[in-house]
Structure 1
């Protein structure tokens, strides 16, 4: 598997952490309006997506059939924030408030699990040869499931920056 993917996972997570580390718990849980998520909820959603993606990739590897799926233009699909995507119920964040450190622990934990799992895959080329259905993107090769983790994280880091401006938190 391409080392680029590891770099991208690292960069996306680094950028996210820069945005949230210095927030107070009150800022973290403030909602710009009732129909929007708080920064805490956005981050909880990212944890749930990473965990769900890990399960999907693990399940996809166990599937016996090799089916080369058509590759998707995930950056176009995920990084265009004018296109609203509805989070599937399974990755909707909790409504109760979170502490910043609690979410940072959850993010670190989900990333550790993902990297530990990836290190157990001896032949990573298998990831391009098998696919699993993604709720928002359709049938998706497993290596693109990895790609969507960091692109999705970039998308939501941009959203967090907007929420901070909206709540006038500045930098």
Structure 2
């Protein structure tokens, strides 16, 4: 993988872990609304997305080269939080409760598996030649599947920050 992608994966994951490690388990599992995810659930969703992305890239590598060479503006779609994206069932988080340490371990495990998997791809250029359908982005070159992992994580880091602010407000009101 190129250094920029690896750096973005590392930088984004470090920012995510920094956002959650000082929370206690009650804060981590608190919801701002009955129909919204807790911070723990957001993080569990990120673990599930990373695992699903590995599977999608694996399937894509086995398929034929793509006829579709159009690259998507992944940052534009994923970082625009005014547009709600609905998570497919396969990446919907469990209800929990979760412990912060447990989820950090899950995040570390899924990232380790991603990096190990990516290291097995000898010719990285093949990632731009093959594609798989992404639930939110449509047909997506496999190298952009990797890019979407950290961009999706950045999207949810902003959501986590908002949840933390809202939870602080709720505490002050009580």
On the 8 A contact 1:44/1:93 being kept in 2, the answer is yes
On the 8 A contact 2:65/2:129 being kept in 1, the answer is no
Distance in structure 2 (CA, Å) of the matches to 1:35 and 1:112: 32
How far is 1:126 from its partner?
A: 0.2
How far is 1:62 from its partner?
A: 1.1
Consecutive unaligned residues of structure 2, counting only runs of 5 or more, are none
Distance in structure 2 (CA, Å) of the matches to 1:2 and 1:118: 11
Could you say which residue in structure 1 is the equivalent of 2:18?
18
On the 8 A contact 2:47/2:110 being kept in 1, the answer is yes
Q: TM-score, normalised by structure 1?
A: 0.96
Counterpart secondary structure, 2:125: helix
Counterpart secondary structure, 2:50: helix
Q: Per-residue CA shift, 1:107-128, capped at 9, x if unaligned?
A: 0000000000000000000000
Q: Per-residue CA shift, 1:137-158, capped at 9, x if unaligned?
A: 1000000000100000000000
On the 8 A contact 2:28/2:39 being kept in 1, the answer is yes
Counterpart secondary structure, 1:133: strand
Could you say which residue in structure 1 is the equivalent of 2:75?
75
How far is 1:66 from its partner?
A: 4.0
On the 8 A contact 2:128/2:141 being kept in 1, the answer is yes
- 2:24 paired with 1:34: no
On the 8 A contact 1:68/1:128 being kept in 2, the answer is no
Please report the RMSD computed on the Cα atoms of aligned residues, expressed in angstroms. Answer: 1.3
Q: TM-score, normalised by structure 2?
A: 0.94
Distance in structure 2 (CA, Å) of the matches to 1:81 and 1:100: 25
- 2:162 paired with 1:158: no
User: Hey, which bits of structure 1, 4+ residues long, moved more than 4 A?
Assistant: none
Distance in structure 1 (CA, Å) of the matches to 2:142 and 2:67: 11
How far is 1:35 from its partner?
A: 1.6
Mapping for residues 54-133 of structure 1, pairs under 5 Å: 54-133=54-133
Counterpart secondary structure, 1:124: coil
Q: How many residues align?
A: 170
Distance in structure 2 (CA, Å) of the matches to 1:4 and 1:103: 26
How far is 1:3 from its partner?
A: 1.5
